Copies of this chain bind each other. A is one copy, B any other.
Amino acid sequence: MEKYRTVLNLVLKQHATLGYSFLALATAGGEQLFSVVVFSCPCNSWNFAYSMVFLLIPALVLFLLGYFVSSRTWKLCTGCCINQVKHCSKTIICRGIKIFLQITVGALVAPVTWISVALLNGTFYECGMCGYHSEYLLQTLCYNKSSDCQSNLFKLPCGHSTLPLPIQEDIRLTIRAQSQVLGWSLIAAIVVFTLASTCILRCYSPVSFLQLQFWKMYKVKENELFEQKSAEHAKELAERNLKSFFNSEGPQDIRTPNRAAWEEIS
């Protein structure tokens, strides 16, 4: 029983990591589904714009959804436009920016996964590159090939190109390789950047690691207890009000914290 509890504790302790992993996996699966089922390259001058829309707009949507889902966004945002005078002190703005950055990092997980998987998959990039009008790119891809390569390139992803099949295959593999190299570079850059920045931030942290662990634990416990107490308090209040309504009596006094107190703990 105790061993079982140990395992459960381990799962609960790592639930943030597990959550992000699940999110990343779901995004990767979604990307695979989209690129096979929904995406079909138009094979004309629209190619580049169409691919960019499939590459970037879902990423943007996921990014904004990331903000939307986080309860900390709303904790930060709620009421901050009303008492602007009060919040103008420098410390509070700094703290606001810090929290905003933390939320942003959390919200970036899904879109970055989307773009990485899309690049590793190569479907969007292939369609986009075949419609991108750049002298340099065209010359690289059509190097040592027949003259109609450049004019026929944008038809390649659909298979309507008049180029001989081996050359089509060759160009296709080159573009796909570029896409995957780009994807891996993006992943490596992000991992390096994240590790470096976290390391530096932690390095300048005034509290030690175990103290940090303790405060994290405290926050979780406080949230739990707060919810519990709130529910009790709310039930008490509702009962009193309904009682006074049905009995047509004046309500009893229950002390509720006033607005200023609420704002302070937010």
**A positions within 8 Å CB-CB of B:** 3, 6, 8, 12, 38, 40-44, 46, 49-50, 53-54, 57-58, 60-61, 64-65, 67-68, 71, 73-75, 77-82, 120-121, 158, 160, 166, 169-170, 173-174, 176-178, 180-181, 184-185, 187-188, 191-192, 194-195, 198-200, 202-214, 217-218, 220-222, 224-226, 229-231, 233-235, 237-239, 241-242, 245-248, 255, 257, 259, 261-263, 265-266
Contact = CB atoms under 8 A, between A and B. Distances in A.
Contact of A173 (B42, B192, B237, B248): B42
A245 B211 CA distance: 13
Q: Is the interface of A mostly helix, strand, loop or mixed?
A: helix
Contacts of A81: 200, 203-204
Contact of A77 (B192, B203, B263, B266): B203
Contact of A246 (B68, B202, B229): B229
A247 B236 CA distance: 14
B44 A170 contact: yes
Given A42-B177, A68-B198, A184 B58 contact: yes
A75 to B, nearest CB: 4
A221 B235 contact: yes
